[in-house]
Chains A and B, each alone.
Chain A
Amino acid sequence: MRAITLIAALLFAQAASAQEPVPQLVPDVSQRDINIQSRFTGAELLLFGAILFPRGVVPDEQVDVAVVLRGPTRPIIVREKQKVAGIWVNAQSVDFRSAPTYYAIASSRPLGKIVDAKTAAIYELGLDQLQLSPSGEINTGELRRFTRGLVDLNNRDGLYGESSGSVDITGQVLYRARLKIPSSVPEGKYVAETLLIRNGRVIVADDSVTVSISKTGFERFITIMAQRYSLLYGALAVMLSLLLGWLAGWAFGRQ
């Protein structure tokens, strides 16, 4: 309801000023805070919003929308297994200084049809366009192989995803898309970027929406304890196992 009044107000304001030649985006998301608690099995985010055209005039030509949700970046090592002396062992590896922990993109039509290669590279649109900044010297062939390996791995785990045709645009004005977040998602600040695309180029990009994912309650307590009070935590784990083992022995011994 609040979102609707907000959109209405902005529509009105836009119509009143009516000077900006470029359209504007009013993006929003169904959930700004995702709490990880004991029943967390992943989440589904609805990214939606409105496209405000100058003077409220909707153009005849088709516009496209792409939404991207990015997780915090981390430095990682990607290792590749090779067959050495009959067994598969980690052989080569590449360090990446900033790989997104999560990356999902949804677009109204296949990305290859709505943006040209240069635009896709600049805005990192699509799984094959991720900029991972490898450290050290590495040739392009290897870089591509390892990037593809990382993308494939994370794609299987649901941490990276690309889906075309999953952004619905209604009346060239309203858009919405659903993105899935698996339970193994890391904590942090996630940035949702919405891009308005016309004639192969990005006209407007808005990354003002953020989603914060964090553990709460008991899960947060356990994580902090394991990290900061490791000695106490370990002692607690030992005590728990001793108690349960003893209890079971006692309970069954009674029978």
Chain B
Amino acid sequence: MDIYLPIAGLSVNVLVIILLGGAVGMLSGMFGVGGGFLTTPLLIFYGIPPTVAAASASTQVTGASVSGVFAHLRRGGVDFHMGAVLVAGGMLGTLFGALLFSLLEQWGQIDTVINILYVLMLGGIGGMMAKESWQSVRARRTGTTLPPRKRRHHPLVANLPGRWRFYRSGLYISPLAPLILGFVTGILTMLLGVGGGFIMIPAMLYLLGMSANVVVGTSLFQILFVTISSTMVHSLTTKAVDIVLALFLLIGSVTGAQIGARFAQRLQPDYLRLLLSAIVLLVALRMIVGLGWQPDEIYTVQLL
């Protein structure tokens, strides 16, 4: 069944969009990530204009993270204090991201920058995750135990001026650290349509040294608000949010997320992480190929 997307300005197959949303939703339910990192490239691959893809993907991530936030709220897994600082940074980031977006678009380099950012982000995080999960899988197989990782914040964070107490996270650090972290992910949300959970979770664990039981909840809390902010900023500046596209993506992804969450309970977390890192690295590889190979069409058109 075909349906016309009013903002993207072309017709697409509804089933493809719902299935795409569903597959991404499964992943987000299984791994607790927003899944925007897959939606945006897949939509572009399907022929949706890049700006519309990024803008509508961030709307989808909002929907995918809602139920997760509720679940973690009930469990008390959200540090509101930390979350508020992250959200403040994230909102500033989306505004700055909007500025960057229009500048890059004028220079005609937005596509390249998006691709390079994807490669760096997915390649780096995917590689890190693959190494770590491989180590723990092997440790389980051979029966040895890995030395427990010490929870402490990075020296860079310790050197920042001014300190606040974040009780639930168990931290006494400068609020600048989460503010900067939020700012960076806000920029990524605006440019790439990703929630940024990918960067947030490792950064919270290994840079800030937050206690693990509030990491996922707080990250989802920040993703929820920053993707809302990014949808609003996109609506006001690029005017590229396609509500029809977002609706069908959402139908797929919210259902997929619930199924994925159930599925995840039956799998070993280490294998799950290894699987996720393989998917992430594959997407990164596809992007590298896209950058280095001569494209089929080397010309692009932009309206003035």
Residues of A bordering B, CB below 8 Å = 36-42, 74-83, 86-90, 93, 95, 146, 149-150, 152-154, 156, 182-184, 186, 215, 218-220, 222-223, 226-227, 230-231, 233-238, 240-242, 244-249, 251-252
Instruction: Establish whether residues B255 and A248, one from each chain, have CB atoms under 8 Å apart when the complex forms.
Output: yes
Instruction: Establish whether residues A244 and B250, one from each chain, have CB atoms under 8 Å apart when the complex forms.
Output: yes
Which B residues between 227 and 249 are near A, CB-CB below 8 angstroms?
A: 228, 231-232, 234-236, 239, 241, 243-244, 246-247
Instruction: Tell me, rounded to whole Å, the shortest Cβ–Cβ distance linking A89 to chain B.
Output: 5
Residues of A within 8 A of B246 (CB): 237, 240-241
The distance in angstroms between the C-alpha atoms of A146 and B299, with both chains bound, is: 8
Residues of B within 8 A of A218 (CB): 6
Given known A-B contacts A240-B243, A244-B250, A184 and B232 have beta carbons under 8 A apart = no
Instruction: Establish whether residues B235 and A219, one from each chain, have CB atoms under 8 Å apart when the complex forms.
Output: no
Given known A-B contacts A226-B241, A234-B231, A241 and B62 have beta carbons under 8 A apart = yes
Partner of B63, one of A41, A220, A244: A244
Which B residues between 271 and 304 are near A, CB-CB below 8 angstroms?
A: 291-295, 297-304
**In the assembled complex, B46 has its CB within 8 A of some CB on chain A:** no
Residues of B within 8 A of A156 (CB): 297
- Shortest Cβ-Cβ A-B pairs, 3 listed: A249-B67, A234-B235, A245-B66
Instruction: Tell me, rounded to whole Å, the shortest Cβ–Cβ distance linking A87 to chain B.
Output: 4
11 further A-B contacts with Cβ under 8 Å, apart from A150-B299, A230-B235, A244-B63, are A36-B4, A41-B4, A78-B299, A79-B108, A79-B300, A88-B295, A89-B109, A149-B298, A184-B9, A218-B6, A230-B239
* Residue ID in chain A nearest B116 by CB atoms: A87
**In the assembled complex, B219 has its CB within 8 A of some CB on chain A:** no
**In the assembled complex, B3 has its CB within 8 A of some CB on chain A:** yes
Given known A-B contacts A39-B3, A40-B4, A222 and B243 have beta carbons under 8 A apart = yes
* Residue ID in chain A nearest B250 by CB atoms: A244
Instruction: Tell me, rounded to whole Å, the shortest Cβ–Cβ distance linking B79 to chain A.
Output: 21
Instruction: Tell me, rounded to whole Å, the shortest Cβ–Cβ distance linking A25 to chain B.
Output: 33
Instruction: Establish whether residues A240 and B247, one from each chain, have CB atoms under 8 Å apart when the complex forms.
Output: yes
**In the assembled complex, B44 has its CB within 8 A of some CB on chain A:** no
Residues of A within 8 A of B108 (CB): 77, 79, 90, 93
* Residue ID in chain A nearest B256 by CB atoms: A248
Please tell me the number of chain B residues within 8 Å of chain A, measured between CB atoms. Answer: 54
Residues of A within 8 A of B11 (CB): 40-42, 183
**In the assembled complex, B120 has its CB within 8 A of some CB on chain A:** no
Given known A-B contacts A74-B304, A238-B232, A249-B258, A81 and B298 have beta carbons under 8 A apart = yes
Given known A-B contacts A90-B109, A183-B10, A230-B235, A248 and B295 have beta carbons under 8 A apart = no
Instruction: Establish whether residues A227 and B4, one from each chain, have CB atoms under 8 Å apart when the complex forms.
Output: no
The distance in angstroms between the C-alpha atoms of A37 and B65, with both chains bound, is: 32
* Residue ID in chain A nearest B236 by CB atoms: A230
Residues of B bordering A, CB below 8 Å = 2-4, 6-7, 9-11, 59-60, 62-67, 70-71, 108-109, 111-112, 116, 228, 231-232, 234-236, 239, 241, 243-244, 246-247, 250-251, 254-255, 257-258, 291-295, 297-304
* Chain B facing A: main interface SS: helix
Instruction: Establish whether residues A74 and B235, one from each chain, have CB atoms under 8 Å apart when the complex forms.
Output: no
The distance in angstroms between the C-alpha atoms of A81 and B10, with both chains bound, is: 25
Residues of B within 8 A of A219 (CB): 4, 6
Residues of A within 8 A of B10 (CB): 182-184
Given known A-B contacts A146-B299, A245-B64, A249-B70, A237 and B235 have beta carbons under 8 A apart = yes
Given known A-B contacts A234-B234, A241-B60, A246 and B66 have beta carbons under 8 A apart = yes
Instruction: Tell me, rounded to whole Å, the shortest Cβ–Cβ distance linking B189 to chain A.
Output: 14
The distance in angstroms between the C-alpha atoms of A181 and B111, with both chains bound, is: 28
Instruction: Tell me, rounded to whole Å, the shortest Cβ–Cβ distance linking A250 to chain B.
Output: 8
Residues of B within 8 A of A149 (CB): 298-299
Instruction: Establish whether residues B67 and A246, one from each chain, have CB atoms under 8 Å apart when the complex forms.
Output: yes
Instruction: Establish whether residues A78 and B301, one from each chain, have CB atoms under 8 Å apart when the complex forms.
Output: yes
Given known A-B contacts A40-B11, A240-B250, A88 and B298 have beta carbons under 8 A apart = yes
Residues of A within 8 A of B254 (CB): 244-245, 247-249
Residues of B within 8 A of A146 (CB): 299
The distance in angstroms between the C-alpha atoms of A100 and B158, with both chains bound, is: 59
Residues of A within 8 A of B6 (CB): 215, 218-220, 222-223, 226
Instruction: Establish whether residues B2 and A77, one from each chain, have CB atoms under 8 Å apart when the complex forms.
Output: no
* Residue ID in chain A nearest B115 by CB atoms: A87
Residues of A within 8 A of B292 (CB): 86-88
Sample of 17 A–B contacts (CB below 8 Å)? A76-B301, A76-B304, A80-B298, A88-B294, A90-B109, A153-B297, A222-B6, A226-B7, A237-B59, A240-B59, A240-B243, A241-B62, A244-B63, A244-B247, A245-B66, A248-B254, A252-B67
